[in-house]
């Protein structure tokens, strides 16, 4: 039986592939106020702006490639049962070859009906006003916006509770409920936190090792460490 490695990834690992994050500049995301492009209020106020914003993100995703952090996580499946819980909406983990990826905040290459949350389509091109579901309802990005529920959270908690090792990579641990997932690991499970600017982690009873590196260096370092345990 392979040991189970549960990994929570955030914007930092994608940033190393060239995807910008809104945390980089005072709540601005590619020059936009986050609430204008990533909230139900922003959507109702200006659908065209929101659609254009995600169309640009979707186009960018066709241009970027997984980095060594993504690839090493995929390679870890040789020795471990790896489950990735990601806050990222890109598909770089899948591109790198990871087979168990749960997206907490949705996926850029999917869209859904504004009326039926279960009507989800794969979508790799621009999404425009007038693109509708089978009942004529406008389609929207399949993204969990600020103020919306996180449908995958219960599954993520269940996965976290089964970890033999838990790793947190490239996240400031500021966005909840995702940031609280490491607290669901069993008390004796080692936690590894890889980030060049790691946040302080409070109230964690688990053995914790902070690795102040970026993902491209830190994940290979973690792999060697885990193989030596």
Catalytic residues: 105
Per DSSP, which regions of 4-68 are E strands? 4-9, 28-29, 32-33
Per the CB < 8 A criterion, the answer to whether 140 and 150 are in contact is no
d(CA 97, CA 202): 33
SS (H, E, C) 196-229: CCCCCCCCCCCCEEEECCCHHHHHHHHHHHHHHC
d(CA 30, CA 70): 23
Report whether the peptide linkage leading into residue 185 is cis, meaning its omega lies within 30 degrees of zero.
no
3-state secondary structure of 192: strand
């Amino acid at each position: 039986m392979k040991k189970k490695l549960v990994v929570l990834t955030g914007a930092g690992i994608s940033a190393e592939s060239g995807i910008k994050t809104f945390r980089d500049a005072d709540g601005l995301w590619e020059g936009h106020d986050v609430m204008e492009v990533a909230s139900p209020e922003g959507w109702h106020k200006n659908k065209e702006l929101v659609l254009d914003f995600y169309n640009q993100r979707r186009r960018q995703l066709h241009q970027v490639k997984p980095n060594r952090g993504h690839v090493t996580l995929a390679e870890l499946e040789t020795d471990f049962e790896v489950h990735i819980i990601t806050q990222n909406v890109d598909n770089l983990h899948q591109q790198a070859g990871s087979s168990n990826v749960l997206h907490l905040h949705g996926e850029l290459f999917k869209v859904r009906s504004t009326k039926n949350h279960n009507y989800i389509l794969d979508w790799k091109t621009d999404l425009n006003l007038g693109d509708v579901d089978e009942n004529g309802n406008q389609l929207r990005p399949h993204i969990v916006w600020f103020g919306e529920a996180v449908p995958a959270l219960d599954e993520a908690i269940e996965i976290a509770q089964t970890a033999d090792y838990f790793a947190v990579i490239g996240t400031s641990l500021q966005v909840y409920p995702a940031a609280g997932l490491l607290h669901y690991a069993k008390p004796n499970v080692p936690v590894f936190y890889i980030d060049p600017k790691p946040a302080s982690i409070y109230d964690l009873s688990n053995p914790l090792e902070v690795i102040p590196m970026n993902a491209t260096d830190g994940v290979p370092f973690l792999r060697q460490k885990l193989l030596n345990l």
